[in-house]
Homo-oligomer: A and B are copies of this chain.
């Protein structure tokens, strides 16, 4: 495992990291989470991603209990959480949901720390942009949370380049803590934002990236090539919205072609896809999800694939996937 700086920031994150999306609490209990965190840590993973909204706060509870059980030195792991969606309750949504206003952020981070049983988060993200709150208000709130010692760094997730730059500029002008990282979706079929929209931000403001969905919701594993298998994520009723995309014919055909390249390299398409995201030097860390220990170990195997992605191999991969990519 190698470690990369979070963009220009001095924080070093493992090139592959572990996220708890859709799995913790729902599919993964504290015991299983503890085992997976331990395995990831032993493999060199030091960055663990979470969000308030995952399992409605329960994902943070599970991860916090796992940290407690594992008893690692606090310097050795980086915990993040993300805020925006809020915790829907009794249908109340005002100042609770889809917002980055000061009231929500202040109270949400406090509640998150309690769920985690931690004194600080290393990294907090604005989970989405909020067009209804001035960026200045959000920058002040994030900076004040850092000033209060409740977090160490902050960033954004799925913000436009223009909004990220605006946040950075406001922080520079008002002497506040600046955003250091963006967490975008990034995989073979979704690459325009990372490669084009953000292009100037890497050098201009030193933006780092932690990327999600390296497997395109499972599409890149090839498991949807013959429909929706029972037990897969897309088979869940709550994930029905995924089905159209993961069954896209052209993309599944592309995955079949990728499988040939993967076979040549001695891996499968999941490992190939993770290695491909990891090979981008602008990416600080590729966040993996996992509902089972074997799956996690398998995906960590992508580390061995990255060095095999020569310019020529990447060109072949691009020829297959780029025409289908957003």
What is the interface of chain A, defined by CB distance below 8 A to chain B? 3, 5, 8-12, 14, 46, 73-76, 78, 86, 89, 92, 94-96, 99-104, 106-108, 122, 130, 132-134, 137-138, 140, 144, 147-149, 152-153, 174-177, 206
Contacts and interface: CB of A to CB of B under 8 A. Distances in A.
Contacts of A9: 101-102, 133-134, 137
Given A11-B103, A134-B206, A94 B152 contact: no
15 contacts: A5-B132, A10-B101, A10-B134, A12-B99, A12-B101, A75-B104, A76-B95, A78-B103, A102-B152, A103-B153, A134-B206, A140-B177, A148-B149, A175-B175, A175-B176
- Give 5 nearest A-B pairs by CB, closest first: A10-B133, A10-B101, A174-B175, A12-B94, A3-B94
A153 B140 CA distance: 12
Nearest to A106: B152
A254 to B, nearest CB: 36
A137 B10 contact: yes
A101 B11 contact: yes
A203 to B, nearest CB: 13
A96 B76 contact: yes
Nearest to A173: B175
Contacts of A10: 99-102, 104, 130, 132-134, 137-138
A95 B78 contact: yes
Contacts of A3: 94
Nearest to A41: B92
A15 to B, nearest CB: 11
Nearest to A140: B177
Given A9-B134, A11-B101, A152-B103, A95 B174 contact: no
Contacts of A106: 149, 152
Nearest to A100: B10
